[in-house]
Amino acid sequence: MVTQPSSFLPAGFDPARPVALIAGQGVYPQLVAAAVRRAGLGLRLVAFEEETPPELVASLPEDHRAILKVGQIGRMLKALEDFGAGYALMAGQISPRRLFRGLHPDLKATRLLLSLKRRNAETIFGAIAREIEAIGVGLLDARSFLDDQLATDGAMTKGRLPIEPEHLAHGIQIARECARLDIGQGCVVRQGTVLAVEAYEGTDEMLRRAGEFKTDHALFVKAVKPRQDFRFDVPCFGLRTLEAMKTAGLAAAALEAGRVIMLDKPAVLREAQKAGIYLHGFA
């Protein structure tokens, strides 16, 4: 009998039913796939051309995977039904530019987009989530199976946080307010001054802009919205972000505990320690 493999799974989770991973870019979906397999659960894959890592696609037999163009929602729903999936989980980013170029909406997607008064990541993915659940497939919290990859409260690296408590509190306040207003989920502050906030361009570009200013005693903060939908919107912090911090000259980051996924956490902590970057979790 399979034990409950994650605290984020719903009550009544049925381990006999396959989990379909709807996979975008990067290491995130690969970590989820590995964790699902370790838990002894059936894994299926919905992959996207030019987005999903090829090695992840190649790791599943043909009858356990479907490869789609971004925007083919009807085909995705059919694949979930063909898989006999009990659950689906979204992991990994799809290139934001595809919302404007390179999108291949099928009839289902066209109807869905036309039904939305506002078109942003939250409304689009929220509508897709409703379509998935309408066919009897439960859309899981995207933190599922990655409990050990989450930021934890307090010091996550050795040493002392090189930021004064009032400046840490200021950074958390700014990040949370930006998230509440749906601007972005991160910011960089320095001794009470906001150097940069994250918007559509993403975290790495924000960090690059922040690096154009004086960055000693600067802090990168990552937070979530008050009513975050963790089925399709989980902030992540990984080696690429760590490298962007190094390039920008930032020596400290504060991540919301239990809510920010640290992609390949052991490697992130190891490289942060090596680079002299302090990582702190806040509740």
99 has a pLDDT exceeding 90: no
- 127-135 long-range Cβ contacts below 8 angstroms, 24+ apart: 128/73, 128/232, 129/229, 129/231, 129/232, 131/73, 131/77, 132/77, 132/80, 132/88, 135/77, 135/80, 135/81
Task: Tell me the whole-structure pTM to 2 decimals.
Answer: 0.91
3-class DSSP assignment, residue 260? coil
Q: What is the pLDDT of residues 55-66, one digit of tens each?
A: 999 999 999 999
- pLDDT interval class at 1 (50, 70, 90): very low
Let me know: does 248 contact 221? Beta carbons within 8 Å: no
Q: Find the angle CA(105)-CA(123)-CA(46) to the nearest 5 degrees.
A: 50
At 248, give phi and psi (nearest 5°).
-80, -10
Residue 176 has pLDDT above 50, yes or no: yes
pLDDT for 187 beyond 50: yes
The pLDDT of residue 159 is above 50: yes
